[in-house]
Amino acid sequence: MIDRHAAAAEKRVVFRRLHEAGCFVIPNPWDVGGVRFLQSLGFKALATTSSGHSWSQACPDGAMPLAGVLTHLRQMAAASDVPVNADFGNGFAPDAAGVAANVGLAVQTGVAGLSIEDATGDHEMPLFDIDTAVSRIGAARAAIDKAGGDTLLVGRAEGFLVGRPDLDEIIVRLRRYAEAGADCLYAPGIRTREEIAAVVAAVAPKPVNLLVGSASGLLMEEIAALGVRRVSVGGALARTAWGAFAHAARLIAEQGRFDGFANALPGQELDAFFRTDSSGREGTQ
């Protein structure tokens, strides 16, 4: 039998080492099959995507209940041979105490890292005020430390995604999140070389995660040269899959055509991959 606690601890050690030097990609699968396929390509770590998972359950992003998210995280962590970072939204709680409690539950799923964002989900007040946001990061840090301290904490500043693209404010927030205990900093929505370089310099030596959700014009070697430590793609892989699905389905519904399947992988190839990949595995079917 696999010792799940020992396996999780080992993945967390590996995950922290990845953040010490170089630049790596953590693509975002939304199901166990995606986990297996992506790790077969040699990616050193993976990250969940709240949007991809929500859409697979017929929910808008952010609408999944905590219990469903925790079950999902447990399945993804168990299925993966590499570290998994959890997209944990804003901690699923209105206050710091609730964030601490929920982060404690997330750590128990076996993830190697988790992110806490400062978005409220309220269109009228899209961001927590900075002091409240900092206290929430501090509560997450305390919960992780109580559990052993090895789970990586990512502090996210969501200004660019909620209509407040003030880089100066975002940098202030990221610095405060680092002071509150975040191990890695993340400002989804920054895109230009200047923005990326400014964030990297502002929070150094803490590592920075860059979201590349569409064609940015930057290659991995260029992103690495800017000092970014890790790159994630958020819901982009899920959106790509939904795009192909919707295109093929609409062709059938609207034109009676079936050529939308042109780029589909052969079933025999997928069967062969999962037959080989699942041999010897336990508890993740």
Whether 65 has a pLDDT exceeding 50, the answer reads yes
Within 13 Å and on the Cβ side, how many CA atoms surround 207?
Answer: 20
Kindly indicate the confidence band of residue 285, based on its pLDDT and cuts at 50, 70 and 90.
very low
* pLDDT score of 280: 46
* pLDDT, tens digit, 9 for 90 and up, residues 237-255: 999 999 999 999 999 999 9
CB atoms within 10 A of CB 222: 13
CA distance 102 to 105: 5
Whether 144 has a pLDDT exceeding 90, the answer reads yes
Which one is the CATH code of 4-234: 3.30.870.10, 3.20.20.60, 1.10.1740.10, 3.30.565.10?
3.20.20.60
* pLDDT score of 72: 98
* pLDDT score of 259: 95
In this prediction, residues 87-112 reach a mean pLDDT of: 98
Q: Mean pLDDT across the chain, nearest whole number?
A: 95
In this prediction, residues 173-181 reach a mean pLDDT of: 98
For residue 16, the one-letter residue type is R
In this prediction, residues 50-55 reach a mean pLDDT of: 98
Q: Retrieve residue 216's tokens.
A: 């940015």
**Which helix (H) or strand (E) is 209 found in, with range?**
strand 208-211
* pLDDT, tens digit, 9 for 90 and up, residues 190-234: 999 999 999 999 999 999 999 998 777 899 999 999 999 999 999
Domain definitions of the chain by residue range = 4-234
Kindly indicate the confidence band of residue 5, based on its pLDDT and cuts at 50, 70 and 90.
confident
In this prediction, residues 27-46 reach a mean pLDDT of: 98
For residue 282, the one-letter residue type is E
* pLDDT score of 213: 87
Q: Which residues are CB-neighbours of 242 under 8 A, at least 6 positions away?
A: 55
Nearest-5° angle of CA 14, CA 32, CA 143? 50
* pLDDT, tens digit, 9 for 90 and up, residues 266-278: 999 999 999 998 7
* pLDDT score of 214: 79
